[in-house]
A = this chain, B = another copy of it.
Amino acid sequence: MEAQLRMGIIGGGPGSFIGDVHIKAASFDNLAELVCGAFSTSQAKSVQSGELYRLNPERVYASYAEMFQKEAALPPEKRPHFFIIATPNHLHYEPAMLAMKAGFHVACDKPVAISSIQAKEIARTAAETNRAFLLTHHAAGYPAVMEARAMLASHQLGKIRKILVEYPQGWLSQPVEKAGNKQAKWRLDPGQSGMAGCIADIGSHAFNLLEFMTGLQVQSVCADLTSFVPGRTLDDDGSILLRLSKDAKGMMNASQILVGEGNDLNIRIYGETGAIEWHQEIPGQLILRYPDKPTQILNMGVNTANHTITGHKYARLPTGHPEGLYEAFASVYRSFMGNIRKIEIGENPAKPDYPSVNEGIREMLFIEAAVRSSEKGTGWTYLE
Protein backbone atom coordinates (compact mmCIF):
# COMPACT_ATOMS: atom_id res chain seq x y z
CA MET A 1 0.00 0.00 0.00
CA GLU A 2 1.21 3.43 -0.96
CA ALA A 3 1.68 6.05 1.70
CA GLN A 4 -0.87 8.84 1.64
CA LEU A 5 0.30 12.15 0.23
CA ARG A 6 -0.36 15.49 1.83
CA MET A 7 -1.70 18.40 -0.13
CA GLY A 8 -2.58 22.04 0.22
CA ILE A 9 -4.74 24.34 -1.85
CA ILE A 10 -4.72 27.90 -3.14
CA GLY A 11 -8.24 29.10 -3.84
CA GLY A 12 -11.44 27.19 -3.30
CA GLY A 13 -12.88 29.55 -0.71
CA PRO A 14 -16.56 30.26 -0.06
CA GLY A 15 -18.51 30.56 -3.31
CA SER A 16 -15.90 28.70 -5.31
CA PHE A 17 -17.07 25.70 -7.27
CA ILE A 18 -14.01 23.98 -8.61
CA GLY A 19 -11.85 24.02 -5.46
CA ASP A 20 -14.05 21.50 -3.73
CA VAL A 21 -14.08 19.32 -6.83
CA HIS A 22 -10.26 19.25 -6.76
CA ILE A 23 -10.19 18.27 -3.10
CA LYS A 24 -12.83 15.56 -3.41
CA ALA A 25 -11.14 14.19 -6.52
CA ALA A 26 -7.65 14.14 -5.03
CA SER A 27 -9.04 12.45 -1.92
CA PHE A 28 -11.27 10.04 -3.79
CA ASP A 29 -8.96 7.04 -3.67
CA ASN A 30 -7.73 7.83 -0.18
CA LEU A 31 -4.32 8.57 -1.64
CA ALA A 32 -4.06 12.15 -0.41
CA GLU A 33 -5.17 14.25 2.50
CA LEU A 34 -5.68 18.00 2.65
CA VAL A 35 -3.45 19.55 5.30
CA CYS A 36 -3.35 23.26 4.56
CA GLY A 37 -4.92 25.96 2.45
CA ALA A 38 -4.94 29.57 1.40
CA PHE A 39 -8.57 29.50 0.33
CA SER A 40 -8.99 33.24 0.14
CA THR A 41 -7.06 36.44 0.62
CA SER A 42 -9.65 37.21 3.27
CA GLN A 43 -8.49 35.64 6.51
CA ALA A 44 -12.05 35.19 7.70
CA LYS A 45 -13.12 33.42 4.54
CA SER A 46 -10.05 31.26 4.53
CA VAL A 47 -10.72 30.23 8.09
CA GLN A 48 -14.30 29.43 7.20
CA SER A 49 -13.17 27.05 4.46
CA GLY A 50 -10.44 25.63 6.66
CA GLU A 51 -13.06 24.61 9.17
CA LEU A 52 -15.16 23.03 6.48
CA TYR A 53 -12.23 20.81 5.59
CA ARG A 54 -11.37 20.20 9.26
CA LEU A 55 -7.90 21.74 8.91
CA ASN A 56 -5.66 22.66 11.74
CA PRO A 57 -6.30 26.44 12.02
CA GLU A 58 -2.57 27.06 12.10
CA ARG A 59 -2.31 25.74 8.61
CA VAL A 60 -4.97 28.00 7.16
CA TYR A 61 -3.62 31.11 5.44
CA ALA A 62 -4.72 34.25 3.67
CA SER A 63 -1.51 34.41 1.63
CA TYR A 64 -0.17 31.60 -0.49
CA ALA A 65 3.33 33.07 -0.31
CA GLU A 66 3.24 32.84 3.43
CA MET A 67 1.78 29.36 3.19
CA PHE A 68 4.57 28.10 0.97
CA GLN A 69 7.17 29.56 3.28
CA LYS A 70 5.75 28.15 6.47
CA GLU A 71 4.76 24.79 5.08
CA ALA A 72 8.15 24.30 3.47
CA ALA A 73 9.71 24.79 6.86
CA LEU A 74 7.75 21.93 8.39
CA PRO A 75 9.40 18.60 8.98
CA PRO A 76 9.11 16.16 6.06
CA GLU A 77 6.44 14.02 7.69
CA LYS A 78 4.13 17.02 7.98
CA ARG A 79 5.12 18.99 4.91
CA PRO A 80 2.66 18.86 1.96
CA HIS A 81 3.76 17.08 -1.19
CA PHE A 82 1.77 19.15 -3.59
CA PHE A 83 -0.47 22.16 -3.97
CA ILE A 84 -3.70 22.54 -5.87
CA ILE A 85 -4.13 25.87 -7.63
CA ALA A 86 -7.83 26.58 -8.07
CA THR A 87 -7.86 30.33 -8.64
CA PRO A 88 -8.86 32.44 -11.64
CA ASN A 89 -6.49 32.30 -14.62
CA HIS A 90 -4.40 35.34 -13.71
CA LEU A 91 -3.52 33.73 -10.41
CA HIS A 92 -2.02 30.52 -11.74
CA TYR A 93 1.43 31.56 -12.75
CA GLU A 94 2.80 33.11 -9.59
CA PRO A 95 1.66 30.48 -7.08
CA ALA A 96 2.73 27.71 -9.44
CA MET A 97 6.21 29.19 -9.76
CA LEU A 98 6.55 29.86 -6.06
CA ALA A 99 5.28 26.42 -5.10
CA MET A 100 7.68 24.59 -7.35
CA LYS A 101 10.59 26.71 -6.23
CA ALA A 102 9.63 25.93 -2.63
CA GLY A 103 9.84 22.24 -3.44
CA PHE A 104 6.20 21.41 -3.99
CA HIS A 105 4.58 19.59 -6.86
CA VAL A 106 1.67 21.40 -8.49
CA ALA A 107 -1.83 20.57 -9.72
CA CYS A 108 -3.13 23.61 -11.57
CA ASP A 109 -6.53 24.40 -12.99
CA LYS A 110 -6.79 25.24 -16.66
CA PRO A 111 -5.77 27.22 -18.60
CA VAL A 112 -2.29 27.02 -17.16
CA ALA A 113 -1.67 30.78 -17.28
CA ILE A 114 -2.54 33.90 -19.20
CA SER A 115 0.24 33.77 -21.79
CA SER A 116 2.46 31.27 -23.52
CA ILE A 117 5.44 33.07 -22.02
CA GLN A 118 4.19 32.25 -18.55
CA ALA A 119 3.43 28.71 -19.63
CA LYS A 120 6.93 28.22 -20.90
CA GLU A 121 8.45 29.52 -17.70
CA ILE A 122 6.28 27.17 -15.72
CA ALA A 123 7.46 24.29 -17.89
CA ARG A 124 11.10 25.30 -17.52
CA THR A 125 10.77 25.62 -13.77
CA ALA A 126 9.02 22.26 -13.46
CA ALA A 127 11.91 20.68 -15.32
CA GLU A 128 14.57 22.51 -13.32
CA THR A 129 12.97 21.71 -9.99
CA ASN A 130 11.97 18.18 -11.05
CA ARG A 131 8.44 18.75 -9.89
CA ALA A 132 5.41 16.85 -11.21
CA PHE A 133 2.77 19.11 -12.75
CA LEU A 134 -0.86 18.32 -13.40
CA LEU A 135 -2.99 20.53 -15.60
CA THR A 136 -6.51 19.53 -14.65
CA HIS A 137 -8.23 18.95 -17.94
CA HIS A 138 -10.25 16.29 -16.20
CA ALA A 139 -11.65 14.85 -19.43
CA ALA A 140 -8.32 13.08 -19.78
CA GLY A 141 -9.40 10.93 -16.85
CA TYR A 142 -12.51 9.42 -18.41
CA PRO A 143 -11.93 5.75 -19.26
CA ALA A 144 -13.45 6.26 -22.70
CA VAL A 145 -11.05 9.10 -23.46
CA MET A 146 -8.09 6.98 -22.47
CA GLU A 147 -9.48 4.11 -24.51
CA ALA A 148 -9.84 6.32 -27.58
CA ARG A 149 -6.34 7.65 -27.05
CA ALA A 150 -4.98 4.12 -26.98
CA MET A 151 -6.89 3.21 -30.14
CA LEU A 152 -5.52 6.24 -31.91
CA ALA A 153 -1.99 5.64 -30.67
CA SER A 154 -2.14 2.22 -32.27
CA HIS A 155 -3.53 3.67 -35.51
CA GLN A 156 -6.79 1.76 -35.43
CA LEU A 157 -8.62 4.38 -37.51
CA GLY A 158 -5.98 4.77 -40.24
CA LYS A 159 -4.65 8.20 -41.11
CA ILE A 160 -6.75 10.86 -39.43
CA ARG A 161 -8.53 13.21 -41.80
CA LYS A 162 -11.04 15.40 -40.01
CA ILE A 163 -11.76 16.23 -36.40
CA LEU A 164 -14.80 18.02 -35.06
CA VAL A 165 -14.55 19.19 -31.49
CA GLU A 166 -17.15 21.14 -29.56
CA TYR A 167 -17.77 22.56 -26.15
CA PRO A 168 -21.31 23.92 -26.18
CA GLN A 169 -22.46 25.77 -23.07
CA GLY A 170 -25.41 28.03 -22.51
CA TRP A 171 -24.91 29.51 -19.08
CA LEU A 172 -23.55 32.83 -20.42
CA SER A 173 -26.33 33.34 -22.95
CA GLN A 174 -27.75 36.05 -20.72
CA PRO A 175 -25.68 38.82 -19.01
CA VAL A 176 -25.51 36.92 -15.72
CA GLU A 177 -22.20 38.59 -14.88
CA LYS A 178 -24.20 41.75 -14.24
CA ALA A 179 -26.60 39.86 -12.00
CA GLY A 180 -24.08 38.79 -9.43
CA ASN A 181 -22.82 35.50 -10.88
CA LYS A 182 -19.23 35.44 -9.64
CA GLN A 183 -18.17 32.55 -11.81
CA ALA A 184 -19.30 34.53 -14.84
CA LYS A 185 -17.82 37.77 -13.64
CA TRP A 186 -14.19 36.79 -13.41
CA ARG A 187 -14.32 34.71 -16.58
CA LEU A 188 -15.45 37.78 -18.54
CA ASP A 189 -12.98 40.15 -16.89
CA PRO A 190 -9.77 40.52 -18.92
CA GLY A 191 -7.93 41.33 -15.71
CA GLN A 192 -8.62 37.88 -14.34
CA SER A 193 -9.30 35.71 -17.38
CA GLY A 194 -6.59 37.04 -19.66
CA MET A 195 -6.86 37.84 -23.35
CA ALA A 196 -9.76 35.49 -24.00
CA GLY A 197 -13.05 34.50 -22.37
CA CYS A 198 -14.80 31.50 -23.81
CA ILE A 199 -11.79 30.28 -25.73
CA ALA A 200 -9.62 30.33 -22.62
CA ASP A 201 -12.28 28.86 -20.39
CA ILE A 202 -13.68 26.02 -22.47
CA GLY A 203 -11.93 26.30 -25.82
CA SER A 204 -8.89 25.20 -23.83
CA HIS A 205 -10.73 22.04 -22.76
CA ALA A 206 -11.75 21.30 -26.34
CA PHE A 207 -8.24 21.96 -27.60
CA ASN A 208 -6.66 19.77 -24.96
CA LEU A 209 -9.10 16.95 -25.58
CA LEU A 210 -8.27 17.05 -29.27
CA GLU A 211 -4.49 17.01 -28.88
CA PHE A 212 -4.47 14.68 -25.87
CA MET A 213 -6.71 12.10 -27.48
CA THR A 214 -5.25 12.16 -30.98
CA GLY A 215 -1.58 12.95 -30.45
CA LEU A 216 -1.86 15.36 -33.39
CA GLN A 217 -0.89 19.01 -33.11
CA VAL A 218 -2.96 21.95 -34.19
CA GLN A 219 -0.64 23.94 -36.44
CA SER A 220 -2.77 26.88 -37.45
CA VAL A 221 -6.18 28.30 -36.80
CA CYS A 222 -8.66 30.50 -38.61
CA ALA A 223 -10.82 31.94 -35.86
CA ASP A 224 -13.95 34.02 -35.60
CA LEU A 225 -14.42 34.99 -31.96
CA THR A 226 -17.51 36.89 -30.93
CA SER A 227 -18.98 38.66 -27.92
CA PHE A 228 -22.66 38.09 -28.53
CA VAL A 229 -23.96 39.50 -25.29
CA PRO A 230 -23.72 43.30 -25.32
CA GLY A 231 -21.22 44.86 -22.96
CA ARG A 232 -18.68 42.08 -22.95
CA THR A 233 -15.09 42.78 -23.89
CA LEU A 234 -14.05 39.16 -24.05
CA ASP A 235 -15.41 36.52 -26.42
CA ASP A 236 -18.33 34.40 -25.35
CA ASP A 237 -18.21 32.32 -28.52
CA GLY A 238 -15.62 30.94 -30.90
CA SER A 239 -15.88 29.33 -34.33
CA ILE A 240 -12.51 28.05 -35.46
CA LEU A 241 -11.13 26.15 -38.43
CA LEU A 242 -8.10 24.03 -37.63
CA ARG A 243 -5.17 22.64 -39.58
CA LEU A 244 -3.27 19.90 -37.86
CA SER A 245 -0.11 17.90 -38.23
CA LYS A 246 -0.13 15.01 -40.71
CA ASP A 247 -2.52 16.91 -43.00
CA ALA A 248 -5.52 16.50 -40.76
CA LYS A 249 -8.12 19.25 -40.60
CA GLY A 250 -10.65 20.23 -38.04
CA MET A 251 -13.32 22.52 -36.71
CA MET A 252 -13.92 23.79 -33.20
CA ASN A 253 -17.17 25.15 -31.88
CA ALA A 254 -16.67 26.50 -28.36
CA SER A 255 -19.40 28.71 -27.07
CA GLN A 256 -21.03 29.82 -23.87
CA ILE A 257 -24.11 31.40 -25.42
CA LEU A 258 -25.72 28.26 -26.84
CA VAL A 259 -29.00 28.48 -24.99
CA GLY A 260 -29.96 25.35 -23.12
CA GLU A 261 -26.65 23.54 -23.50
CA GLY A 262 -24.92 22.15 -20.44
CA ASN A 263 -21.45 20.67 -20.64
CA ASP A 264 -21.43 18.32 -23.58
CA LEU A 265 -17.78 18.64 -24.51
CA ASN A 266 -17.55 16.28 -27.47
CA ILE A 267 -15.28 15.13 -30.24
CA ARG A 268 -15.61 13.23 -33.49
CA ILE A 269 -12.46 11.93 -35.16
CA TYR A 270 -12.61 10.55 -38.67
CA GLY A 271 -9.76 8.53 -40.10
CA GLU A 272 -9.37 6.68 -43.35
CA THR A 273 -10.70 3.42 -41.96
CA GLY A 274 -12.65 4.30 -38.85
CA ALA A 275 -14.11 7.01 -36.68
CA ILE A 276 -14.54 7.67 -32.96
CA GLU A 277 -17.10 9.86 -31.22
CA TRP A 278 -17.21 10.78 -27.54
CA HIS A 279 -19.50 13.01 -25.48
CA GLN A 280 -18.86 14.16 -21.93
CA GLU A 281 -22.55 14.00 -21.12
CA ILE A 282 -22.55 10.23 -21.77
CA PRO A 283 -18.94 9.77 -20.74
CA GLY A 284 -18.79 6.00 -20.50
CA GLN A 285 -19.46 5.45 -24.16
CA LEU A 286 -17.42 5.49 -27.34
CA ILE A 287 -19.20 5.42 -30.68
CA LEU A 288 -17.09 3.72 -33.33
CA ARG A 289 -17.83 3.88 -37.03
CA TYR A 290 -16.39 1.93 -39.94
CA PRO A 291 -16.82 2.11 -43.70
CA ASP A 292 -18.55 -1.24 -44.09
CA LYS A 293 -19.57 -2.42 -40.66
CA PRO A 294 -22.32 -1.51 -38.21
CA THR A 295 -21.72 1.38 -35.87
CA GLN A 296 -20.44 0.16 -32.52
CA ILE A 297 -21.19 1.41 -29.02
CA LEU A 298 -18.33 0.54 -26.69
CA ASN A 299 -19.28 0.95 -23.03
CA MET A 300 -16.50 1.31 -20.50
CA GLY A 301 -16.35 -0.81 -17.37
CA VAL A 302 -14.00 -2.92 -15.30
CA ASN A 303 -15.57 -5.98 -16.84
CA THR A 304 -14.94 -5.12 -20.46
CA ALA A 305 -11.38 -6.36 -20.49
CA ASN A 306 -11.96 -8.49 -23.54
CA HIS A 307 -12.66 -5.67 -25.91
CA THR A 308 -10.81 -2.75 -24.49
CA ILE A 309 -7.22 -2.06 -23.69
CA THR A 310 -7.56 0.66 -21.16
CA GLY A 311 -11.10 0.47 -19.83
CA HIS A 312 -9.93 -2.17 -17.43
CA LYS A 313 -7.29 0.17 -16.10
CA TYR A 314 -9.20 3.43 -15.79
CA ALA A 315 -12.76 2.32 -15.11
CA ARG A 316 -13.85 1.67 -11.53
CA LEU A 317 -17.28 0.08 -11.91
CA PRO A 318 -18.91 -2.62 -14.02
CA THR A 319 -20.31 -1.54 -17.35
CA GLY A 320 -23.51 0.44 -17.06
CA HIS A 321 -22.92 1.78 -13.59
CA PRO A 322 -22.38 5.44 -14.42
CA GLU A 323 -19.13 7.13 -13.55
CA GLY A 324 -18.86 10.89 -13.77
CA LEU A 325 -16.74 13.96 -13.52
CA TYR A 326 -15.49 13.35 -10.00
CA GLU A 327 -14.12 9.95 -10.95
CA ALA A 328 -12.42 11.32 -14.08
CA PHE A 329 -10.93 14.10 -12.02
CA ALA A 330 -9.80 11.54 -9.43
CA SER A 331 -8.11 9.49 -12.11
CA VAL A 332 -5.91 12.29 -13.42
CA TYR A 333 -4.98 13.03 -9.81
CA ARG A 334 -4.18 9.37 -9.22
CA SER A 335 -1.81 9.28 -12.18
CA PHE A 336 -0.22 12.56 -11.13
CA MET A 337 0.28 11.27 -7.59
CA GLY A 338 1.91 8.15 -8.98
CA ASN A 339 4.58 10.36 -10.49
CA ILE A 340 5.00 12.35 -7.27
CA ARG A 341 5.69 9.12 -5.43
CA LYS A 342 8.32 8.13 -7.96
CA ILE A 343 10.05 11.48 -7.74
CA GLU A 344 9.92 11.43 -3.95
CA ILE A 345 11.76 8.12 -3.84
CA GLY A 346 14.27 9.25 -6.41
CA GLU A 347 12.90 7.39 -9.39
CA ASN A 348 12.29 8.88 -12.79
CA PRO A 349 8.64 9.78 -13.21
CA ALA A 350 6.67 8.09 -15.98
CA LYS A 351 5.84 10.01 -19.13
CA PRO A 352 2.65 11.72 -17.94
CA ASP A 353 -0.58 10.06 -19.05
CA TYR A 354 -2.27 13.20 -17.80
CA PRO A 355 -2.12 16.79 -19.12
CA SER A 356 0.97 18.54 -17.85
CA VAL A 357 3.26 21.48 -18.68
CA ASN A 358 3.59 20.78 -22.40
CA GLU A 359 -0.17 20.73 -22.68
CA GLY A 360 -0.14 24.06 -20.86
CA ILE A 361 2.19 25.63 -23.41
CA ARG A 362 0.16 24.22 -26.27
CA GLU A 363 -3.13 25.60 -24.98
CA MET A 364 -1.69 29.06 -24.47
CA LEU A 365 -0.28 29.07 -28.01
CA PHE A 366 -3.70 28.05 -29.22
CA ILE A 367 -5.52 30.76 -27.30
CA GLU A 368 -3.08 33.39 -28.51
CA ALA A 369 -3.31 32.25 -32.12
CA ALA A 370 -7.10 32.20 -32.00
CA VAL A 371 -7.22 35.74 -30.64
CA ARG A 372 -4.69 37.00 -33.18
CA SER A 373 -6.49 35.31 -36.06
CA SER A 374 -9.83 36.75 -35.06
CA GLU A 375 -8.43 40.23 -34.52
CA LYS A 376 -6.91 40.32 -37.96
CA GLY A 377 -10.07 39.12 -39.67
CA THR A 378 -9.96 35.34 -39.46
CA GLY A 379 -6.93 34.44 -41.54
CA TRP A 380 -4.82 31.35 -40.95
CA THR A 381 -2.54 31.95 -37.98
CA TYR A 382 0.15 29.63 -36.77
CA LEU A 383 0.51 28.47 -33.21
CA GLU A 384 3.72 30.18 -32.06
A interface residue numbers (CB < 8 A to B): 1, 4, 17, 21, 24, 27-30, 51-54, 157, 161-162, 164, 169-171, 173-174, 222, 224, 226, 228, 237, 239, 241, 243, 249-251, 253, 255, 257-264, 268, 270-275, 280-283, 288-299, 301, 303, 306-307, 316-327, 377-380
- CB-based contact A239/B262 at 8 Å: no
- Give me 20 other A-B pairs in contact (C-beta within 8 A), A4-B54, A317-B324, A377-B379 excluded: A24-B30, A157-B259, A162-B239, A162-B258, A173-B272, A255-B270, A259-B270, A259-B272, A260-B290, A260-B291, A260-B295, A261-B275, A262-B320, A263-B320, A281-B322, A294-B296, A317-B325, A323-B326, A324-B324, A379-B379
Q: How many copies does the complex hold?
A: 4
- CB-based contact B280/A322 at 8 Å: yes
Set of chain B residues within 8 Å of A30, measured between Cβ atoms: 24, 27, 53-54
- CB-based contact A251/B272 at 8 Å: no
Contact of A259 among B239, B243, B291, B378 (CB under 8 A): B291
Chain B residue with the shortest CB-CB distance to A275: B259
Set of chain B residues within 8 Å of A21, measured between Cβ atoms: 317
Chain B residue with the shortest CB-CB distance to A298: B294
User: How far does the Cβ of A7 sit from chain B's closest Cβ, in whole Å?
Assistant: 13
Chain B residue with the shortest CB-CB distance to A158: B259
Given the complex of chains A and B, what is the CA–CA distance between A241 and B225 in angstroms?
11
- CB-based contact B228/A239 at 8 Å: no
Given the complex of chains A and B, what is the CA–CA distance between A258 and B295 in angstroms?
13
Chain A to chain B contacts (Cβ below 8 Å), 6 pairs: A262-B301, A262-B320, A295-B296, A322-B325, A324-B324, A324-B326
- CB-based contact B237/A260 at 8 Å: no
Set of chain B residues within 8 Å of A224, measured between Cβ atoms: 222, 241, 243, 249
Given contacts A224-B241, A228-B161, A294-B299, contact A263 B306 (CB under 8 A): no
